[in-house]
Chains A and B, each alone.
Chain A
């Protein structure tokens, strides 16, 4: 029996694309290779017996090559989908993308219509899931103004959607300095007026530093809570529907669900 070659890569779009390039050009054959990405905590999944592990160092030039081939040989839409899947929290996404690309490069742009194919279908489902969460967060992100005028927001999404939501806010608030901080991954999207927004790893950011509000900020938080309370039609109260539309996991970072401290 041939030894299986397992390519271990970083949990990022570039890491996964680099591994795809190396696995593809390795000449081992598609059936004999497997891709594995680092878990979010930085470790890998269970080790397998009778296989050889190959560590992949992320290489931007290789990653760009893969991006370009997907865009030109499959389609822009497929590329966007693959990127969103690479940002998801699905375990085994690197290998899934690899299998999808084998089919994609063979069939071309039409691959997106092969919905009854297992791999294509999985890609579709994960893509939709990531898209939904990103869309939800466009609404659920809450900024609070700091003394120096900086807008700060913290989120805790399942998928790594920061890079999907940041462009929306940069477009919406061009004159504001803002931070959207992903608590789970210690990453943040930063924006300064007149410049491109950037994605940064911020291991020593402390949320506590951003909890001192000005009087004006406190006033608007109160006003928002007042509005939220008074817009309810009492005869129609329906917690099931509310929970269905706005899952509890988002509420921790939302101003209107903060318990009132006064009284």
Chain B
């Protein structure tokens, strides 16, 4: 390795944004904070996208690694210690200046600081802390900061960092402890869950102290669906909180935008059912704001990992996000969507359509009478549409014409609803018929990856990578 003493800031930014691009959570949402009239910055609850990169992903924060040097050797990671890549590190001054100047020009909404592990977890966390303190205390930056907590670092450091950040995240990396052992031998799942738990407890105590309402006060469900020993252990162990380290200068709350995590999808053998069960357990037990899924790419061409010559499993990632939404906003549970006999999502249909087709006995639903949560379960009706229907039917009996005017997309919903006891046109409520109709809709596949799939659908010769879809092809053949 060549040690370059004087690397230009341009070169550093090239290396360290390149190294950070695989991190998924570039959101700036979760906290509403007005400007204070004297220093730069404010924050908007719904988040603001500042631009979209060529891969179509939102850029909201300056997403960089503090350093891409790393003592760990996780097999899937481009920055693993055994890779021969150019290494670089920022200084706290460089990070804070870049953030301030970018923010001033309205390029970004704030900073997303992650890092490889330099020397030790503690050493790295101290550097991150230094950069954040510089931003908050010297530059009086009042914008959004998302930073990673590094598993294995001192609880005191994690405690302190939380007072400077808006959102913190600890990467779960892989869904189960077995795959973690296999691919990231230096990391242990319990070590990852511990800081998540610590941040959760401190947030709750801080919110309680301030008298803010907290959804997490409701009784907790311990482990839903899938038995997860690690989560159970962390939740049930009594962890004493680290004594309050709040600096009297800090007038912010503890991690006000909550915490998130991310998992790599497709590097190991877990089924969608296992992945969704883990997400559900994380939402229920750790009060996470988001779980992000990252389609695996074999960046290291490592022979122990699956090949991704066809590109990353984007469609699978898309389906997992759809299901994730169903868990968080639609009142679904993992076990309704998937089970042992049906462990993976349908490639051709979104999870909600798939669920509805297996529960045709619950349909059709009468739009003028069904309650909000029943409406939410109709394919094609989302939270906005359901709210609009509930509001509009107070003053009028709704017909299909009115639904159209409300902006409700009927192409899917039409098979599952009635207005005044009538469907829009005579429809056979029968699985094969509706499946065929739904499959004919183009929007079942997300933008940009649709072409690929039609090609595959037409292919007569299924190659090996077509494996998980076999069940569906069989089902299609039945029609």
Residues of chain A at the chain B interface (Cβ within 8 Å): 110, 112-118, 121, 125, 135-136, 138-145, 151, 153, 168-169, 171-176, 220, 222-224, 226-228, 230-242, 244-246, 254-256
Contacts and interface: CB of A to CB of B under 8 A. Distances in A.
A239 B54 CA distance: 6
A172 B391 CA distance: 35
A87 to B, nearest CB: 20
Contacts of B236: none
Contacts of A145: 104-105
B235 interface: no
Interface of A is mostly: helix
A163 B62 CA distance: 28
Contact of A242 (B52, B64, B392): B52
A232 B55 contact: yes
Nearest to B406: A115
B13 A173 contact: no
B53 A242 contact: yes
Nearest to B36: A174
Interface string B51-66: 1111111111011100
Size category, B interface: 35 or more
B420 interface: no
Interface string B268-311: 00000000000000000000000000010100000000001001
Contact of B392 (A115, A220, A240): A115
B68 to A, nearest CB: 12
Contact of A116 (B14, B42, B396): B396
Nearest to A145: B105
Given A118-B405, A220-B102, A236-B314, A242 B14 contact: no
B405 A240 contact: no
B24 to A, nearest CB: 10
A241 B56 contact: yes
Contact of A230 (B17, B37, B41, B58): B17
User: What DSSP secondary structure best describes chain B's contact surface?
Assistant: loop
A116 B398 contact: yes
Contacts of B20: 231
A93 B333 CA distance: 45
A223 B51 contact: no
Nearest to A144: B105
Nearest to B294: A233
Contacts, number: 173
Contact of A255 (B54, B107, B446): B107
A171 B35 contact: yes
Nearest to B62: A227
Nearest first, the 3 A-B pairs at minimum CB distance are: A241-B56, A238-B448, A115-B392
Contacts of B104: 143, 145, 151, 173, 176
B9 A173 contact: no
B105 A228 contact: no
A175 B42 CA distance: 13
B420 to A, nearest CB: 13
Contact of A220 (B41, B46, B101, B448): B101
Given A230-B13, A231-B21, A241-B55, 19 more contacts: A114-B396, A115-B388, A135-B48, A141-B106, A142-B105, A143-B105, A153-B106, A172-B143, A173-B35, A175-B38, A175-B40, A176-B104, A226-B17, A230-B17, A236-B57, A236-B312, A239-B448, A242-B53, A246-B51
A242 B37 contact: no
Contact of B102 (A138, A172, A224): A224
A154 to B, nearest CB: 13
Contacts of A237: 54-55
A139 B52 CA distance: 10
B40 A227 contact: no
Nearest to B401: A116
B98 A223 contact: yes
Given A220-B105, A224-B107, A245 B56 contact: yes
8 contacts: A116-B392, A117-B395, A140-B51, A145-B105, A224-B102, A233-B21, A235-B311, A240-B56
B10 A121 contact: no
B39 interface: yes
A89 to B, nearest CB: 20
A227 B311 CA distance: 23
Interface string B9-44: 110011001101110000000000011111111101
Nearest to A114: B395
B50 A140 contact: yes
Contact of B38 (A141, A174, A235, A255): A174
B396 A230 contact: no
Contacts of A254: 51
A21 to B, nearest CB: 28
Contacts of B297: 233, 235
Contact of B55 (A112, A153, A233, A255): A233
A68 B58 CA distance: 40
Contacts of B243: none
Nearest to B140: A175
Nearest to B394: A113
B34 A171 contact: yes
Most chain B CB within a 10 A radius of its CB, from A136, A141, A239, A246 = A246
Residue from A117, A143, A231 whose CB has the most chain B CB atoms within 10 Å: A231
Contacts of B42: 168, 171-172
Contacts of A226: 10, 13-14, 17
Contacts of B391: 112-113, 115
B49 interface: yes
B55 A238 contact: yes
A143 B35 contact: no
